[in-house]
Structure 1
Amino acid sequence: MNLLTGSSIVKDQRGFGHSALLSCGRANTSLGSMSLGVERPMIWLPESLDSYGLVDIADVVESDVFDGITSAPSSLEQVSFYVIPLLRGAEPLRLMARMPALEVVQAQSSGVDAIVPLLPAGVTLCNARSVHDSATAEMAVTLVLAQLRGIPDYVLDPGFWPAPDDLRPTLADATVLILGYGAIGVAVARRLSGFECEVIAVGRTERPGVEPVSALARLLPRADVVIVTVPLTSETDAMVDAAFLAQMRDGALLVNVGRGPVVRTDDLLAEVASGRLCAALDVTDPEPLAADHPMRSMANVLITPHAAGRTTVLAPRLKSLVAEQVRRYVRGDSLLNIVAGDY
């Protein structure tokens, strides 16, 4: 049943759907003046319906605000669509186990590695693909340029003046390998297109223009810069280990804007401590690194505090995505960004 029109909707190919609410095990109830004979779904949002521009559907849904800071609303057992508060730790994730009517979880992050293990069986998970792509890609290129051109040296020592033979590498004529060619990897490549560098795309599966992961042994020795954008999965956990790093050419730069545990920290430490490799990391394992961790004081390592997504466009883009997803849910349409398997 389409809650906006009252018309029947066939369950989509995902095998999921509140579109036929009877299939979710809920009893039919009246919508008051609308008299649709369909139970109004309970939606949890980090802010009010009004802040998402959803006032027009207020008469066909129930909603509660849960920001991850205040106590959980009393509608815990009724919630069917849950937008997880961003950067609020594990407690909002644990609540999913206490939501018997839950059908859809909408993450506000691209990575969902912390959510997947706690996701109840049969619940559809959607991520925020497309929301963070631009900001993360910008950060990746920023880290590359800052580290290649020695910007931290100039910032830390305002009186520093390079010697005539102190020449820095550039992106021009360099070879950049992007490990992970999903939405963020593609966004990175798009931004590198004007820098006169060769870009090698590496993805989980081979396709036109994208090399398979199995080709890394052949490709890593060619790369001046390796940018890691992969999510954290069983396949990518500790993927960048001693063997991986050993295949990188001397003087190469490793950039990680994916997830910290994709890179084995102790193995990277050994390489940067020797001076053979450089690194620029927006994510680390653990996160944050201890204040006295050796990499924090190394000139060939640049660390930012998982700041790629912390931009002024984040909130409006997230709200736009959430609003679209809620409307699709209410209409019974296919949702965006559904996470399948080990994504």
Structure 2
Amino acid sequence: MSDDIWLPFRTDEIEGLPEGPTYRYWDGAEEYPADPADCVLYVVPYMKGAETEVRPLPAMRSLRVVQTLTAGVDHILPSLPLLPDGVLLCNARGVHDASTAELALTLILSSLRGIPDFVRGQDREEWREGFRPALADRSVLIVGYGSVGAAIEDRLVPFELARVARVARRERDTARGVVHPISRLSELLPDADVVVLATPLTGTTKGLVNADFLARMKDGALLVNVARGAVVDTQALLAEVKTGRITAALDVTAPEPLPAGHPLWHAPGVLVTPHVGGATSAFEPRAKRLLAAQVNRFVLGEPMENVMVNSGA
């Protein structure tokens, strides 16, 4: 038996990996690179689908750490009961901050300034003039203020906003201002021109954006979801946008992938992108730096970072 570390990158692509472990390259292929029972640290392949990503887990009887390359770990959580006690589940906090924050800003600006309508006009060779809302002087509410939420606010700062409100699980102070507890969400919603969802998917946040949440949003407000599709009740959102009272920009949907013929594709005032928040050139260098640091901690017996769950605890 050997102490294998499974990586979705080849070792010559990652600088700073320590000597000692046996590295196995696996990026979701049908055949495993070695016996999963020998794997002690499993780095989950990125964007290969939950079924593929969790497939080797039941056979990983020596496993001590699961490292995702996503900020969310909801796709791994259902497999935790299959793992040995004490396995650490670590996320990729920090890897997707820049890319996801860029997309959130893109979705906000594109929706407010009517970019989808201009693209349709270009396709038809139509000159579509008109007055559009600006981001300047708007109020933004960020729901979920971890590293991604903070990165989104960093990119909003130059746009001359009226104010930014922040909501997370617990109240705390930051350099930019207070983060309100989620219990205050209902009173903050009516003042927000733009509501950005950047929260992880948990039992608390699943279906958080329901009919009541949407009804509390002000007339003309924009909902932006770069979190997880299941944070939003799709049927409630469809009912609301069909009235024209609010609009939405969604990088994630429920269901996902969004099937052909689904009403969200053509819902009025809805912009859809296919879950591309983290899929940019910024991903690989940040992912590889994280993996090198985490593997070094593991080999040296140092505490792992970004620990989300300890199985069996």
Q: Is the contact between residue 94 and residue 118 of structure 1 (CA under 8 Å) also seen in structure 2?
A: no
* Contact 1:83–1:106 (Cα < 8 Å) also in 2: yes
Give CA deviations for 1:25-77 in whole Å, capped at 9, x if unaligned: xxxxxxxxxxxxxx96311111322221256x33x111211111241133311
Determine if contact 1:229/1:258 at 8 Å carries over to the other structure.
yes
Distance 1:341 1:213 in 2: 25
Distance change (3 Å), C-alpha of 1:246 and 1:76: same
Q: Secondary structure at the match of 2:56?
A: helix
Preserved contact between residue 121 and residue 128 of structure 2 (Cα < 8 Å): no
User: What is the CA–CA distance in structure 2 between the aligned matches of 1:100 and 1:88, rounded to whole Å?
Assistant: 22
Deviation of 1:341 after TM superposition, in Å, equals: 7.3
Q: Would the aligned equivalents of 2:190 and 2:218 in 1 still touch at CA under 8 Å?
A: yes
Return the offset for 1:335.
1.4
Question: How far does residue 289 in structure 1 lie from its aligned partner after superposition?
Answer: 1.8
Structure 2 match to 1:136? 100
Distance in 2, matches of 1:83 and 1:137, equals: 24
Rounded to whole Å, the distance in 2 between the matches of 1:293 and 1:182 is 31
Identify which of structures 1 and 2 has the higher relative contact order when contacts are C-alpha pairs closer than 8 Å and 6+ apart.
2
Are 1:108 and 2:69 matched, yes or no? yes
Equivalent in the alignment of 2:127? 161
1:196 and 2:160 aligned: yes
Preserved CA contact (<8 Å) 1:67 1:85:
yes
| Corresponding residue SS for 2:47 | coil
* Deviation string, structure 1 residues 196-252 (Cα, Å, up to 9, x no partner): 111101111111211111111111000000000001111100000001000001111
Q: Deviations over 1:158-196 (max 9, x none)?
A: 134345xx3211111101000000110000111111111
Question: Counterparts in 2 of 1:149-298, with a 5 A limit?
Answer: 149-158=113-122, 159-163=125-129, 166-197=130-161, 198-208=163-173, 209-298=178-267
In the aligned structure 2, how far is the partner of 1:139 from the partner of 1:115? 25
- SS of the counterpart of 1:92? helix
Instruction: Give the drift of 1:295.
Output: 2.4
> Does residue 88 of structure 1 match 2:54?
no
Q: Provide Cα deviations, 1:63-98, integer angstroms capped at 9, x if missing partner.
A: 211111241133311110111111122133131111
TM-score, normalised with respect to structure 1: 0.84
Partners of 2:287 and 2:194 in 1: CA distance: 31
Question: 3-state SS of the aligned residue for 2:5?
Answer: strand
Task: Spell out, residue by residue over 1:83-136, the C-alpha distance to the aligned partner (whole angstroms, 9 max, x if none).
Answer: 111112213313111111100011011111010121223200111110001100
1:291 and 1:341 map into 2 onto residues whose CA distance is 39
Q: Which runs of 5+ in 2 are unaligned?
A: none
**1:303 aligned to 2:295?**
no
Q: Match for 1:97 among 33, 36, 58?
A: 58
Backbone CA RMSD of aligned residues: 1.7
Q: Would you say 1:76 and 2:36 are equivalent positions? A: yes
Percent identical across equivalent pairs? Answer: 48
Aligned residue for 1:255, secondary structure, equals strand
Alpha-carbon spacing, 1:228–1:148, altered in 2? closer, same or farther (3 Å): same
User: Which deviates further from its counterpart, 293-302 or 253-262?
Assistant: 293-302
Q: Which has the higher strand share?
A: 2
More off after superposition, 69-78 vs 82-91: 69-78
Larger Rg computed on CA atoms: 1
Structure 2 CA distance for aligned equivalents of residues 272 and 227 of structure 1: 16
Instruction: Report how many residues are paired.
Output: 300
